[in-house]
Amino acid sequence: MNKTVRVALVALLCVGAAACQKKQEVKPQSAAPEQTAQTETNQSNGKYTPADLDTDACLRQRVVYFDFDKTEIKPEFQQIMACHAKYLQDRPTSHIRLEGNTDERGTREYNLGLGERRGNAVSSALQAAGGSASQLETISYGKEKPVCREHNEDCWSKNRRVEIVYTAQ
């Protein structure tokens, strides 16, 4: 990736990070005092917690889709990259496995390579937004784990993806 593209990517991710700030969660009045104190601490410091993986709309989005035979991350996924990178910053012990996938077209070897390149593209975007390389692992499944088995473009587009899997929260 050339320097101009990297600078543009970092700028987009910074804008996305500002748009993906954690929303404050309101706890019911019946919460125990120690739970309320912990919640207030988390809210006041603005850091993500493991509970946010299930409650935050941005963090719940864990699939990045790609165009046919491409490894560039689409603009609509930049905000997701920023959210997950912030989570990695806030939770230094967390780890992510990036699972690259392709559609059924192409040879097994080509698709394994393409899945890895897609996983590496997501890894690079997360690192550019502040995530640590030591928190990321990339694996390629190529065309071996499709989510759709029909033989048409709509189905193939669902299989061209990288799944973000938290292995440690």
pLDDT in the model for residue 46:
85
40 and 100 in contact (C-beta within 8 Å)?
Answer: no
pLDDT for 126: 98
pLDDT at 11: 47
Q: How many CB atoms lie within 10 A of CB 83?
A: 25
Distances (CA, A) of 90 to 42, 93, 143: 11, 9, 34
| Domains with residue ranges and CATH for the chain | 3-168 (3.30.1330.60)
> What is the pTM assigned to this prediction?
0.74
pLDDT at 107: 97
pLDDT tens track, the chain, 169 positions:
555 445 444 444 444 444 444 443 433 343 433 443 333 334 447 899 999 999 999 999 999 999 999 999 999 999 999 999 999 999 999 999 999 999 999 999 999 999 999 999 999 999 999 999 999 999 999 999 999 999 999 999 999 999 999 999 9
Q: How far apart are CA 59 and CA 39, in angstroms?
A: 18
Helix, strand, or coil (residue 155): helix
